[in-house]
Structure 1
Amino acid sequence: MKILKLIKILVQSILRAVQLELPKAEHRHCARHIYANWNKSFKGEELKLLFWTFVKAYNLANFEEAITEMEDVNPVAVDALRKCGPHLFFRSFVKLDGECDVILSNMVETFNNYIMNARSHHLIDMLEDIRTMLIKRLANKKEEGLKKWKEVDIENRTCTCKKWDLRGISCCHAVASIFYLHKELESYVDQCYTREAYLRTYEGNINPCIGERHWPKIDKLIDPPPIKIGPGRPRKNRIKDPHEDPK
């Protein structure tokens, strides 16, 4: 009982701290944890699929379609979900000014695992270890970011991943760099993909020939080359590799 009381005090302290320090922050619940609790009463693969369909829906139209479909299967399950607060974990209800569609607590759990060893220490030592780890992490991520900016050469239209070089279409690294410089993405697509290049490909033509009835007639016999017919029925399909998909 004493441990539960301490946990309750800790949770209340965290909620109050967030309210004071981040008054305008949007609070969301983890859809995976809500599903775990909801699934105890409403099981089945069909309900699971419908749950994640409307939880991940970006607009109300798709959301309503999935909700209607679930109501046909189990209306009680829908009522139970509505009581959880759709605005807290449904993508179609979250605020648009956050530039974030995350409805899972994966990032928090990743960070929790990141500080797992530090959590076993004394409070002061734990905070010091976390502070030191974050200092190193920020420095390392900044250094990695600076290195990644150098992998793209916009002027020469090349990238170390080689996708841009091979395809002539900007890779994800090049796209990030082009947008960062506020330039037009279409300007960095190879000329072979332009309308003009497409038309040049088909600008040639094959002139028609006169019909067979107008060909000149000759007296000589023109026999076809000799054909050697092998035994058995003629093969129509090519011989496939042993490792090739038979279909």
Structure 2
Amino acid sequence: MWKIDSMKATVLQDMFADVSTSKCKHAKKLVMDRLMCGMKNEYTRVFDYQLELLRSNPGSTIAVCLDPTNMDQNIFQSFYVCFNAMKLGFKAGCRKVIGLDGCFFKGAVKGELLCAIARDANNQMYPVAWAVVEKETKESWKWFVGLLIKDLDINNNGAGWVVISDQQKGLINAMQDYLPNAEHRMCARHIYANWRKKHRSHEWQKFFWAIAKASNKQDFNYRKAKLAQETPDGVKDIMRTEPMHWARAFFQLGSNCESVDNNLCESFNHSIVDARFYPIISMQERIRKKILVRVQEQRAKSEKWNGTICPSIFKKLKASIARTQFVEVLWNGPGGFEVKHINGRGRQYTVNLDKWTCSCGYFQLAGLPCCHAISAIYKCGKKVDDFIHPCYSVDVQKKYI
């Protein structure tokens, strides 16, 4: 908000006029009154906007909620959007992994925007649904998650699904009530940010991320023990949050997602930061157009891709391939191999190419061959592409767009 002193200084500099404080306050009041009038007008048209979205986007879910304690006054409470095209795209080309997050409005009107963001075959953000609410509470998250469950056909209380979020208490409670069987990961970046307030050493930062990204319990315990040698209190503070929520070693296998953060939601919130300055209908229109443009751009990019695997995934594979120079491979029966690191502490893992498994855990968790599996694949003269889950293919990417 423009402060009076700053306003006076700007007028003096740009218009060479020395105006009084009272005139600045009066001018500011006129502007704010007009602005608020425009904002109020948009809220009176929210039901018309809902009907127009439903008319132009058949099959979409557009929900408007009024304050149940003041139904006679028609006081706005929340607005939910999930376009049918985004629903169908999610079901056709995205994994059962959803990031949930909330962000504040930036303008004069107070409120928050909740979002549900999936990840496409190229591991980039895919907005599924979003909602305007008064604030993040258990009730607002339950309302949002309840609608999302119906739109995405989530059954069995979320069994087989992964939800990534921060540590917002209202969301945690909503998850326990509506999706108790889903794997609930909590963003390691937020956990680290809280942990770092007390444990500031740069070296300890490296230990934290090594612990979070260890893909099996043996490596997790080893790295945790190394941190304990430096700061026993630091380890105690880390473990205050159950590692099943933030440490890769404890994630359920088969999700084809090894992520320990909620960066895609952060990316979405940042991409719509300009829209968050506007009143509700103008905000929704800017978000809608932003997503339309993004889908079109992703479609155009995918048409130019060569090969069968999406480029972001290929980049990750190249990093794993680079690490194969530090391992040696021994045959261990049909489809089986022993892979040993020749550097560091000489870790040894068992790979079974017939079952697509490695005892390091990464192969089963990510759906991508780790450096140990890639070494075994090279050893028997096979193609790495044949051991990548189809969810990462260019063909799947083109299905959702």
The one of 146, 165, 187 equivalent to 1:30 is 187
Q: How does 1:164-175 map to 2 (within 5 A)?
A: none
Measured after TM superposition, the shift of residue 73 of structure 1 is 2.3
User: Structure 1 residues 6, 138: CA separation in 2 closer, same or farther (over 3 Å shift)?
Assistant: closer
Name the SS for the 1:116 alignment partner: coil
CA distance in 1, matches of 2:384, 2:278: 54
Task: Spell out, residue by residue over 1:106-161, the C-alpha distance to the aligned partner (whole angstroms, 9 max, x if none).
Answer: 2112111111111111112111211121122112212221232xx459xxxxxxxx
Task: Spell out, residue by residue over 1:218-247, the C-alpha distance to the aligned partner (whole angstroms, 9 max, x if none).
Answer: xxxxxxxxxxxxxxxxxxxxxxxxxxxxxx
The one of 299, 307, 312 equivalent to 1:142 is 299
CA distance in 1, matches of 2:144, 2:224: 33
Amino acid at match of 1:95: Q
Q: TM-score, normalised by structure 2?
A: 0.34
User: Structure 1 residues 9, 133: CA separation in 2 closer, same or farther (over 3 Å shift)?
Assistant: closer
Task: Spell out, residue by residue over 1:68-87, the C-alpha distance to the aligned partner (whole angstroms, 9 max, x if none).
Answer: 12222222221211112211
Measured after TM superposition, the shift of residue 30 of structure 1 is 1.9
CA distance in 1, matches of 2:236, 2:144: 30
User: Structure 1 residues 32, 186: CA separation in 2 closer, same or farther (over 3 Å shift)?
Assistant: closer
Name the SS for the 1:97 alignment partner: coil
Measured after TM superposition, the shift of residue 45 of structure 1 is 2.7
Q: Percent identity?
A: 27
Task: Spell out, residue by residue over 1:191-226, the C-alpha distance to the aligned partner (whole angstroms, 9 max, x if none).
Answer: xxxxxxxxxxxxxxxxxxxxxxxxxxxxxxxxxxxx
Greater percentage in strand: 2
User: Structure 1 residues 152, 129: CA separation in 2 closer, same or farther (over 3 Å shift)?
Assistant: same
CA distance in 2, matches of 1:50, 1:133: 39
Is residue 209 of structure 2 the alignment partner of residue 11 of structure 1? no
Q: How does 1:10-159 map to 2 (within 5 A)?
A: 10-12=135-137, 13-20=139-146, 21-22=148-149, 24=158, 25-26=161-162, 27-148=184-305, 151=306
Measured after TM superposition, the shift of residue 186 of structure 1 is 8.0
Amino acid at match of 2:383: L
CA distance in 1, matches of 2:253, 2:297: 31
CA distance in 2, matches of 1:14, 1:86: 27
Larger Rg: 1
Alignment length (residue pairs):
152
Consecutive unaligned residues of structure 2, counting only runs of 5 or more, are 1-103, 105-109, 113-132, 150-156, 163-183, 309-381, 386-401
Q: How does 1:204-243 map to 2 (within 5 A)?
A: none
Alpha-carbon RMSD across the aligned residues, in angstroms, is 2.9
Consecutive unaligned residues of structure 1, counting only runs of 5 or more, are 154-183, 188-247
User: Structure 1 residues 186, 53: CA separation in 2 closer, same or farther (over 3 Å shift)?
Assistant: closer
Question: What does residue 185 of structure 1 align with?
Answer: 383
Amino acid at match of 1:185: K
Q: TM-score, normalised by structure 1?
A: 0.54
CA distance in 2, matches of 1:186, 1:30: 31
CA distance in 1, matches of 2:272, 2:187: 20
